[in-house]
Structure formats: structure tokens, C-alpha cells
Amino acid sequence: MPSARKPAKAKSQARPQFGDWEEPRVTAVLVLADGTVIEGEGVGAEGAAVGEVCFNTAMTGYQEVLTDPSYAGQIVTFTFPHIGNVGTNDEDIETTNLAASAGVVGCIVKEPITEPANYRSARHFDKWLKARNIIGLSGIDTRALTARIREKGMPNGVIAHSARGKFDIKKLHRMAAEWPGLLGLDLAKDVSLTQRMHWDEKLWDWKTGYERSEGGAYKVVAVDYGLKRNILRCLTSAGCDVTVVPATTRAEDILAMNPDGVFLSNGPGDPAATGEYAVPEIRKLVESGKPLFGICLGHQMLGIALGAKTVKMHQGHHGANHPVKDFTTDKVEIVSMNHGFAVDRQSLPDGVVETHVSLFDGSNAGIALKDRPVFSVQHHPEASPGPQDSHYLFKRFVDYMEKAKR
């Protein structure tokens, strides 16, 4: 891919009123494993970080995207050109474990960051990136990079920012080429809580903000593989009393809490790698007969626990405008997605029903057991960011728990 910088423009005698046009100084680069170098202007933190380069097509919610633990180990390219223009705040953070060091390692945007223009803004996007140690690259042709990812898949790369504009390209290329990638990598342990936590915050209200729940009728244990806060808010608002436990919690300890249902969360990395310790526990939870609901990584590992396989996707699904068919309602939903692995629909065993499918590429987007209250989806029904077409899934989980209690 050619350099994303605009070519230098010569002085024009015909239009002197515009003055001389100077090429922006290169203060950040993206170096891919195949040797491609893309130059631009740096924003956010300085330094260098290696990760898998993906693209996200959401038009809103960049703060939620960059704090989603499922993006750990990735460099996010935003296809929407204006990122950062509404600033940031302290409410739209999706990370549950604020002490976790792992997460998005970099972001790539087209247009320079402007001053924030939103009544909820509390901090400039550039300062927010610095505070979270996220390296940014701006001023590049994000459409060309997105087209490259669509054609060749998600590459490993290094994003680097230096105010001095000094880069050791050979060293950065070596970092990208030697990084093993996300296949076989367990990242859930890096973003999960390390101890139990009770959650009582409900969904955001335009007038009152986040209200607190005084308790719910259904006791839910949520296993944190990289939980998003809005999932917990959806559960609480649906009438659940939620306790969050670390990713490595044993099934015996979860069942000893006598929950009405168990939730398996989203998260980053390879489901087969995290599944080495999580899948045996998920099998025990399935055998217990308790209602079970999984999202994203939780969906993938539930699939493995039931006998299916997972595969690494070519370009993954990252955005808030993905069409999904729900076979249980015979409706098409527009959903939010963020995953680079998928359950192989051809490997689904007898007794497991495919409930949802992506209408973009036909990949699996949901499963359920025929004879037990166990189901999961690949997409993100909590919709943060994204449409709320799939909010009914939290009600479905509650209905399973109500039926089991009766």
C-alpha cells in the first residue's frame, strides 16, 4: 500500500490567496508484518504497540468501542471519518475491570481530531487517549486500509507515535512479523476481574443518568471473560440481581451461590485457548440444568463445550450495522458485532440448534440446546454502541429463569 500522506503541493501563482500548502509532518506510522508502512500524524499516547489490525464500521460510540475488553490486542481502524469530535466522558466506559492493563493498543482515524462539541463532553479525545495509553494515528486513507483488510485479512502490525518523527522502521517491522497473533492466545485472564463484584447499575436514562437497582427477582452469576458494563446494566434492568465472578471461577463455586441463571460474557482472544480452563466448567454448568446465556466469547466457548468447533475469521465482524436472521422469531435484526472468531456451523452436533445467522456471510450467530434452557448469540444485544433490536434476548433469559423457578 502506498504512503497515505498527500503528495506535496507546489506553489501556485494562479491562486496565491490560499498561500503555500505544506505537507503534515509524519509523527506516527503503522508498520504491517508484510513490510507495508503507512505514515500519518500521531495522536494520543507516544510509544509503539503491536496488535492485530481490524476495522470498525460504527458511526457512533467510539469511546465504547475503545473501552470494550473484547478488543484487547487489536488496533482499531474506524471507517467513519470523524472520530473524537464529541469528546469523551466518564460514563461511556465499557471496561468492567478498570485496573486491567490489557485492551485496545491503538486506533486509526482519517480526519484530524477537532475540539469536542457535545454537552456531555468532559475531556478532549486526544487527552483521553493519552490517559488510557492508547496510541493513535490520523490523517491516513482509512478506506484503502479497510479495503486491504477485506481483501487480505486482518494483518499483524505495529502502531508507533513519536512527536520527534523518528522511527526505526526495521525494528518495528520485525516486531510485527514476529508477533504470533491472536490465534492460540488467551487474553481473558488479562481483562477479567480478579475477585467477585456485585453489580446494581441500571441502563442509562436521559433525565436521571444511571440509576441503582434495589435488588432483582432473579439471581444471576456473570462469568467475566471481558465483560462490558452495558451487558450488566441490561441484566439488572431486566430484573436480575447480578454477581460478577472471575473467568477462572470453578463451576462448583458458581453453583454453590445457588443462582437462578448463569451468564457467560464476551471477551478477547482465541476461544479455544481460553476454553482450556473455561470449557470444562461450562460443561458442568450445562449439566446442572441451570438456565445459561452466553454472548460473543461466551457463545463461542459454549459451542465448544457442546461439541462444536471455532474458526478464525478472515476479516471478522466489527461494527454496529450487521444484519442477523433470528430463526426463532423469523425476523431480521440489525446488531452490533465485535469478533474475529466464530462457531463453525458445520460442526454443530445433534441436539444443538442454530438460532441466528449472519446475513453478511452466513456465519453462525446463535445456538441453543433443544432440551435445556441454554442459548447464546455471537452479536452484542446490549448495543453499546449500536441498535437495540436484540434487547429481547435478556427478557428471554429472564423467562427461562422464571420457568425454572416455577
pLDDT tens for each residue of 10-61:
333 333 333 444 567 899 999 999 999 999 999 999 999 999 999 999 999 9
In this structure, the answer to whether residues 195 and 306 fall within a common structural domain is yes
> Looking at 234, 296, 322, 339, which residue is catalytic?
296
Of the candidates 178, 212, 231, which is a domain's last residue? 178
Does 193 lie in the same domain as 118? no
Does the annotation mark 299 as catalytic? no
Confirm whether 240 is a catalytic residue: no
Domain that holds residue 82: 19-178
Q: Does the active-site annotation cover 281?
A: no
pTM score, whole prediction: 0.93
Q: Which parts of the chain have pLDDT scores under 50?
A: 1-21
Phi-psi region at 212: left, alpha or beta (left = phi > 0; alpha = psi -120 to 50):
beta
Are residue 160 and residue 262 in the same domain, yes or no?
no
Domain presence at residue 6 = no
* 67 vs 338: CA distance, rounded Å: 12
Question: Of 134, 150, 178, which marks where a domain is finished?
Answer: 178
The answer to whether 367 touches 354, Cβ cutoff 8 Å, is yes
347 and 202 in a common domain? yes
Q: Are residues 56 and 174 in the same domain?
A: yes
List the CATH number of the domain containing 96: 3.50.30.20
Domain-embedded: residue 14: no
Asked whether residue 156 falls in the same domain as residue 278, the answer is no
Per the CB < 8 A criterion, the answer to whether 90 and 224 are in contact is no
273 and 217 housed in the same domain:
yes
Residues 111 and 129 in one domain: yes
pLDDT tens, residue by residue, 56-88: 999 999 999 999 999 999 999 999 999 999 999
Decide if 267 is inside a domain: yes
* Number of neighbouring beta carbons within 10 Å of residue 360: 14
241 and 168 belong to one structural domain: no
- What's residue 22's pLDDT? 58
Report the domain count for the chain.
Answer: 2
Same domain, 63 and 207: no
